[in-house]
Structure 1
């Protein structure tokens, strides 16, 4: 006997939540959905009742999501993007621009690529770029794509690969913890199942042996990262992904002199002449953006950011 299907909340709740997560304010979400900010707040409260837990911090600030809210935002944004892409693919259009579907790791997409993606329109106006975030364990080859940014080292047969960069990892904490952190042993620890070993390697590099404080383990890195932003503990993270939060004062690196190498990123795509030609403008732009990165615990922001 088959199990009962899992219920889903009304679409208007999900759309309001996703718009707030993507746009960062109730007023912007309301304008996009053609409703009032009060209606957005009402749908958010209804969704919290539906899931049975808070998705926004108690102060109610726009974009101040709980760790659970951030995780749900990631899933909902990806899901609605897939629905929109599927519907959009059925609509006849002739924009004269070349469609380019790019897959990228979720945290890299959210923290580094998305804030820069608007600049592709200037660098390669002939492209219509659609970005889809992927999670560790996804069967990404089954997703429609022209190219993918990968950090797992796997290159499918029949694909070209171009190395992009290797991560530098260091430890970050929220400012509230930094003031009390005399050493890594003095703060709780956050880690994820999708980046096993990073925390232990960094602790070893810092000269920390066996430690007794609690570890909070999360299924995905972006959830562990959001927990660290909220003050839950120390997170070992790539410098390029933490750069904006460091610049905004949401994270600090108390031990910047302790850094370890992380995984390497690569750009992969089907090895055909037509695909090489299609992806070339985007790859040129991507490499130029990466060449602007600063080194160090606050690195990841462009040295001389292009105007928005």
Structure 2
């Protein structure tokens, strides 16, 4: 059995010494002034010596207090950093952190995850539903995106293909008549999409002004509301096409970029990454069949 004072007494002492105030320590620890004072009295009684001396209206550490504070603050700092590392490892253990576009996550990945979990009930996916461009440095094990043009060349070289993509202009049925010269809806982080469409297609669609949104979901909603013509990947608008909220009069074509995967730099490709990307590849191929 370790001969140590209660952790609550040490926390009260460390906070009081650092803040030079029992009141501020009580606020920090979400305790009453009286509760912190009692913890300090218990600690001093256990030690057999006072730890503070009065200085005006505040408290000042005496020689014993200085010695104990140096020890406790150092141990607490090590404990804090060590606990954070263990917690992060625990969160990552048995799981895979995947970063991808929010619309892809909501409209394709999450609805299909039940199928993946039937194959791999031991492997949990932790999603960051945000722009893949924004998540690059946040520790994701894997980034999934179909436009890596903003990434450094060395990262693009490490990326590998998951499956084909088919993009096409979509609009509300009532907007079709005005679509040729109408408003073009673009994506803030995928500005090359319409450029590739114009280069590949004989149809010049939405030659009027252009408005952009930061997420594909917003582009889709803008098109549904009759605001203009959006260029989107076919899988992401299957529901709207089926419900006739959107139409695709000019069809869908495969543009010169595919769904790509980029594993974290400086790490080996893990068995979990291989299992997940193999499943994504198979599902994407099945969808496009």
Aligned residue runs from structure 1 range 168-179, under 5 A: 168-178=166-176
Q: Deviations over 1:244-288 (max 9, x none)?
A: 3212332111122x6351522222224788642232221221122
Q: In the TM superposition, what is the alpha-carbon distance from 1:207 to its structure 2 partner?
A: 3.8
Q: Is the 8 A contact 1:98 1:128 kept in 2?
A: yes
Higher percent of residues as helix: 2
- Quote the residue 2:38 is aligned against: none
> 2:193 pairs with 182, 198, 218, which one?
198
* Aligned: 1:101 with 2:97: yes
> 1:127 pairs with 118, 123, 126, which one?
123
For residues 274 and 193 of structure 1, what CA distance do their matches in structure 2 show?
32
Query: What TM-score, normalized to structure 2?
Result: 0.58
Structure 1 residues 196 and 263: CA distance shift in structure 2, 3 A:
same
> 1:111 pairs with 107, 110, 113, which one?
107
Query: What TM-score, normalized to structure 1?
Result: 0.54
Q: Deviations over 1:103-134 (max 9, x none)?
A: 11222222221221222210111101111123
DSSP-derived class of the 1:292 partner:
helix
Provide the aligned C-alpha RMSD in A.
Answer: 3.5
Structure 1 residues 231 and 289: CA distance shift in structure 2, 3 A:
same
- Quote the residue 2:244 is aligned against: 249
Q: Is the 8 A contact 1:189 1:235 kept in 2?
A: yes
Number of residue pairs matched?
A: 201
DSSP-derived class of the 1:142 partner:
coil
- Quote the residue 1:263 is aligned against: 257
User: What are structure 2's unaligned runs of at least 5 residues?
Assistant: 1-83
DSSP-derived class of the 1:226 partner:
helix
Structure 1 residues 239 and 92: CA distance shift in structure 2, 3 A:
closer
Structure 1 residues 217 and 275: CA distance shift in structure 2, 3 A:
closer
Structure 1 residues 209 and 219: CA distance shift in structure 2, 3 A:
closer
Query: Which structure's CA Rg is the greater one?
Result: 2
DSSP-derived class of the 2:227 partner:
coil
- Quote the residue 1:76 is aligned against: none
Structure 1 residues 176 and 207: CA distance shift in structure 2, 3 A:
closer
Q: Deviations over 1:160-219 (max 9, x none)?
A: 5321124221111123324xx2x74254322223222433543562343994x3433334
